[in-house]
């Protein structure tokens, strides 16, 4: 029987393979989002971004998939310290560390020109936005839109369908405890108080 270390090593290898396949996929349709024209990377948590009310900000929390933090660390050389770590239980005996980025741990990859510095390796949560996945009680994927994204009217249906298919294919690998964290992160308010951060919007 496999011990936990062997099981985790095999699981990590499977996730790394999936991430590589997703990132190498050249068939992803253009999203048609007008990020640079209409927005200032509102969905990327960054230094100086205040915890604005939900009608002013898109989604300031990025939640990485299992082993996605490790994948990004390996590809970019960034340290684990830049991520906020949330543990989730995979089984009663096995705990996974999930990396997140939020206003308390701003994304280290956002460039001054509002472009992503690791676009070729960036998290699936970033790639998927403004589409927001969730899990219904029966275990099926549901979708909503980050309503505060100013590009919603331009979002390509072909891109949406492609991303939804990508998540459907990953669904059997994602533990329910990850979905609980993803939902929790939507309501995360542990950012620095406005008075403690510099307003840059």
Question: In terms of C-beta distances under 8 Å and separation of at least 24 residues, what long-range contacts does 23-32 make, across chains too?
Answer: 23/120, 23/121, 27/162, 28/159, 28/162, 29/156, 29/158, 29/159, 29/162, 30/156, 30/159, 31/155, 31/156, 31/159, 32/151, 32/154, 32/155, 32/156, 32/159
Positive or negative, the Cα torsion across 63, 143, 22, 121?
negative
Min dist CB 53 to ligand SF4, Å, is 15
Residue 131 lies near ligand SF4 (rule: CB under 6 A): no
Q: CA 75 to CA 120: how far, in whole Å?
A: 10
E-strand stretches of the chain: 62-63, 84-89, 95-101, 131-135, 141-145
- Site for ligand SF4 (CB under 6 A): which residue of 65, 69, 96, 107? 107
Query: CB neighbours (10 Å) of residue 161?
Result: 11
Nearer of residues 110 and 170 to ligand SF4, judged by Cβ: 110
Within a 10 A sphere around the Cβ of 128, how many other Cβ atoms? 19
Tell me: does residue 191 bind ligand SF4 (CB under 6 A). Answer: no
- Our CB check for ligand SF4 shows the closer of 129 and 179 to be 129
Residues 29-58 interacting with ligand SF4 (rule: CB under 6 A): 33, 35, 38-39, 41-44, 58
Q: Measured from the CB of residue 126, what is the shortest distance to ligand SF4 in angstroms?
A: 3
Would you count residue 123 as binding ligand SF4 (CB under 6 A)?
yes
Residue 129 sits in the site that holds ligand SF4 (CB under 6 A): yes
Quick one: which of 76, 151, 160, 197 contacts ligand SF4 (CB under 6 A)?
A: 151
- Contacts with ligand SF4 by CB under 6 A: the residue count is 24
**Applying CB under 6 A, does 103 fall inside the site for ligand SF4?**
no
> Distances from the Cα of 23 to the Cαs of 15, 46, 53, 112, in angstroms?
12, 24, 33, 24
* Residue 193 CB, nearest approach to ligand SF4 (Å): 22
128 binds ligand SF4 (CB under 6 A): no
62 contacts ligand SF4 (rule: CB under 6 A):
yes
Question: Where on the chain is the footprint of ligand SF4 (CB under 6 A)?
Answer: 33, 35, 38-39, 41-44, 58, 62, 101, 107, 109-110, 116, 118, 122-123, 126, 129-130, 149-151
């Amino acid at each position: 029987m496999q011990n936990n270390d062997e099981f985790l090593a095999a699981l990590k290898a499977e996730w790394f393979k999936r991430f590589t396949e997703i990132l190498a996929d050249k068939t992803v349709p253009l999203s048609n989002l007008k990020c640079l024209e209409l927005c200032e990377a509102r969905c990327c948590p960054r230094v100086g971004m205040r915890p604005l009310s939900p009608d002013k900000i898109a989604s300031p929390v990025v939640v990485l998939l299992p082993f996605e933090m490790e994948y990004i660390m390996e590809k970019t050389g960034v340290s684990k310290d830049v991520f906020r770590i949330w543990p989730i239980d995979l089984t009663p005996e096995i705990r996974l560390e999930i990396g997140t980025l939020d206003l308390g741990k701003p994304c280290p990859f956002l460039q001054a020109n509002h472009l992503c510095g690791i676009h070729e390796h960036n998290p699936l949560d970033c790639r998927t936005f403004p589409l927001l996945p969730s899990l219904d009680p029966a275990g099926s994927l549901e979708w909503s839109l980050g309503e505060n994204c100013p590009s919603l009217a331009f979002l390509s249906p072909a891109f949406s369908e492609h991303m939804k298919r990508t998540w459907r294919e990953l669904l059997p690998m994602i533990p329910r405890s990850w979905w609980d964290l993803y939902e929790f992160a939507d309501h995360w308010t542990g950012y620095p108080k406005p008075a403690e951060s510099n307003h840059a919007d």
